[in-house]
Chain A
Amino acid sequence: MTENGVYVYAIIPAGAALPAGAAGVGSPPAPLRLAGDGRVTAVVSEAPPQLRARRRDLMAHQDVLLRLSDGGPVLPMRFGVVAPDEASVTAQLAGAETEHLATLRHLGRGVELNVKALPAQDSLAAVVAEEKNVRRLREEVRRRPGYEANVRLGEAVATALSRRAAEAGNTLLHRLTPLARAVAPGPEVHGCAFNVSFLVDRDESDAFRATVRKFADAHRDRAEIRVAGPLPCYSFVASSGLRPTAARV
């Protein structure tokens, strides 16, 4: 029955219901069930054979967590956490029940909003107009065209685009921090100059998003700002059950 192990999606307070219509990882999607007999419950399913980070399963994981977080506080698991069997899930929950409950209480009605700043793809004219270094290298290319000069120019453009996006992100960070209960830097994403998550009460997430959008509109020539959420609190589950990210991967 559990030959591939038990896939763990989330830990929720006991008594919370499974979201209707949600299905788990695997093909066909594995039915969800609850595991645990204490004051916290795990949402689990059978793990599929040869689980990998494929689109279908990533989306199933995310979808289950989004639906769960609509219903109340959730401790989201990282993608791909598999327990050997249901008994080990129940034992873990029993052993760490107090910490899990404390984290659930701390999150309360909080949701995660993730804000990214990427180099503004349409801002080359602004970069040429405003970046002295780029202008100088561009003139050098004009005077003495060549491979090396072009590489230097292109590198300066790439650097300037990233720096401008990071600066816009940091300005935005100062505006958003007072609106959030907690702030957590996101993992490094290549090509992304700024990546930060904010813990915001669900009732305030619309206002938060509106603030981000307003800033994004006003800084289009410096950064492409993206906001995602409300999300399950992936970045705010720093209980002792969480291994430091740096030690992983």
Chain B
Amino acid sequence: MSDEREAPNRLPAGGSIDRDRPLSFTFDGKSYSGYAGDTLASALLANGVVLMGRSFKYHRPRGLIAAGSEEPNALMQLEKGDRTEPNTRATCIELYSGLSATSQNRWPSLSFDIGAVNSLVSRFIPAGFYYKTFMWPASMWLTYEKFIRKAAGLGVSPTAPDPDRYENTHAHCEVLVVGAGPAGIAAAAAAAASGARVLLIDEQNEAGGSLLASATGEQEPVRAWIADAVEQLQSNPDVTILKRTTVTGYFDYNYLTALEKVTDHLPPGSDPVAPRQRFWKIRARQVVIAAGAIERPLVFADNDRPGVMLANAVNTYINRYAVLPGRNIVVFTNNDSAYRTALNAANKGAEVVVVDTRREVDNTLVESLKNAGIKHFPGHAIVSVQGKLAVGAVRIMPLSEDGKTVQGQAWELSCDCIANSGGWTPSVHLFSQSGGKLAYRDGIAAFVPDAATVRSVNPCFSAGACNGTFSTTDCLSEGATAGRAAAIAAGFPGSDVQLPASDPASDDRGQGDIHPLWLVPTVHPVGEGAAKHFHDFQNDVTAADIHLAAREGYLSVEHLKRYTTTGMATDQGKTSNLNALAIMADIRGAQIPEVGTTTFRPPYTPVTLGAIAGQETGELFLQVRQTPMHRWHVEHNAVFEDVGDWKRPRYYPLGVEDMHAAVQRECAAVRDRVGILDASTLGKIDIQGEDAAEFLEMIYTNGWKKLAVGGCRYGLMLNEHGMIFDDGVTSRLGEHHFHMTTTTGGAARVLNWLEEWLQTEWPQMNVYCTSVTEQWAVAAINGPRARELLSTLTDIDLSTEAFPFMTTSEGQVAGVPARIYRISFTGELSYEINVPARYGRYLWDTLIEAGKAFDLCPYGTESMHVLRAEKGFIIVGQDTDGTVTPHDVDMSWIVSDKKDDFLGKRSLSRLDTARDGRPQLVGLLTEDPAFVLPEGAHIVSQVLDKPPMPTIGHVTSSYLSPNLGRSIALALLQNGKNRKGDTVQVQLMDGTVINAQVSSTVFVDEKGERARG
């Protein structure tokens, strides 16, 4: 690289870049070179690239204004293809080899952008333009929207899935310190010294905060102290330091979130293992916010021209990145802090002029300018900026006493950079998010945290510049005090730290005696003339827009924000908010605190959605539950269905079979021979205690006290509204011992239901419920040959006399302890064999092997649904929907009229629940036996030309029944009980109407003899 020409703005020495590690990158297809330690912004600036983007609304040319995460203009489309990311701030992208960035919001090119015509017609797109123009007619909005989206878009989203991986994790600490500048390091050091667990987080790739922008030789004792303190913190096992990490939100009970950019500083995909980003969910006992301050621009005519930068950003580029942004720099300020920039720039060889809106300036500053040969214009203001795509010159004029007008001799100063400072805005975002209130401090012309308003659930301290404390010496001591206090509040003894001696000569005294000038006047009143005074660069909002909003009555700061969109861009108004509300205060003749601030909302900086999802993507997106037989199902080609969180085999296709063919085959096998179903997913609850029967009497609609030991009974549970809530078979294993089964999806809900009643309403009952769902693996064998099959594997007497329908028996099956329930969900002879889950796979394999002699057929949930529908057995949640009573599903037989009370009983006699004509479950037989009604199709009372037609019910279950050779359906139909035999019309999506006859819900073996046989 040594023979290559150095980038034009790169200084020959200095900065914290690594000149031995040159890196090449491209911007808009053109190749450039920078160094390790550069950001994309500093590398472009070093190469003389000033124009970096086009503005959002007017497509005006824009360049960098900042060096940190507050940058509103230099938004880049980073990388290409599936890794492309829009709206990344060039100031936050650490340069890596091969980086590829493109500018946004321009066509066909950055220097010639057709959209810039918007700037010429800007008088016709004022604030509120969209609201006013596209309001009427409402029907046209969809058309307008497409146009607006296209015209107003910034970057473009990737269309392919994100190939990167992300992690999401929790952290806990006694003291969280946000910011690793002087205040934050001092706070962390003090807290750590007392033994507290400390988490120190900083956005940059190295500690130092504001000192990272200081020149070599400046504040050496403090920098040495910080280096030493960081080293000590790093070696402390109770301290965690996260660099490249931004605290993005402050939520209740000291819950904060942060985004760590783990590998974003490396070429994409180059680290095969580490996540790209990590999202932290932090619970802190105490928080010290040391987030610093953000410099705000002065609002002057055409202050958005590329080359107009914040003064401290210019300082940062010079000192940290060894980039001199201009050869002729005009420093324009209303406070002291920009003088450091002036002196630094002059020291590096730039021609510098200082224009200060103040008439009186501290004499030592004036002297230091004089010594450096820098021209000084106190009491002056920039009234215009020359140059199209970059700054070429400025005109300055003397300000009137009150700063409202300019008058007198104008000077033109040619320059290629304007370093401006309107003062410093403390970063109160996190404090405000925590619920604390802000107080306006006149002396620094900014809002600061009001420590008296800290919420008790969000204990925190603010220290340093974010607290309005700007001198480095004061930041250190305030940080140490806050760190100590936080540790004490977290229950640790307080510890002091030795701070470096203050050095008055080089101490950064911040903005000094600031004289706010919120809007810099020109020869024209604001809004007249061609010039624009921008305060919000990213959303293209000007001082004239604020005036317009005020004229139209949008005086409240929240209205102002929404009407003009100020502060609503991706930078959340970090550089613009205070200027906007101060200008509004001026218009209203009000004090700034009266106008107030808008709400600070998380995230502080944009957060990648992938990082929030973290590892919980793909197979970890949702919890997945598997039975002990799961692998067998996978090995045997099962197609799975999600039931609750469970993976259940839906059907087992043979060869090229589709679901229809497989289900027809499986159903026929069960009715003709024998089939096997994995029923392990059914919810199972062990209920013990002397009041267990009494308890079940309250839980179920039917009676339980008389159930004999060894007996099984089907039960319906209602909620207190009288609506069906779950069902299942419960068996009596002992006098005080029951085994309840629930629906697969309802297991957790039912257990909670039982526990809630026992713990809150009936604590006197001696009943204990324990979930045993996974304790038992269950193979259900169904079909006329089930008994024969089972008898090959057990000595239990399976004769109907010894082991009748609806009873349970214990013994050995296939040599392992088993409990068999002779119950049936298919209407066939059926045994549900339960073994401890560790033997589940073995039992299944053994049954399959033994079943070969009987042509045993594994079947899935789809066939189970068909088989039970043929019998008219309901599925809770499919044939019921929370508005259905037992009477509605023709199950009045299960509602005891002997019991005084059970859950939901009283609701069954409520006026609406007991009325005639409610939707009731019926069977439907289509006129065309081959036609299968779609589930969800509506039964209509009147056939019209096209939908919608008045509905009187809907189909809940519908299948082609292999055993009947025709379609069957269940439906909820108004007054269905009295319509048996009627023909009804079912409307399909396309408006076709199908005739069907209302029938009984039981289609096969109405007497139920097969299951009992």
Physical interaction between A and B: no
Residue ranges of B at the interface with A (Cβ–Cβ < 8 Å): none
Residue ranges of A at the interface with B (Cβ–Cβ < 8 Å): none
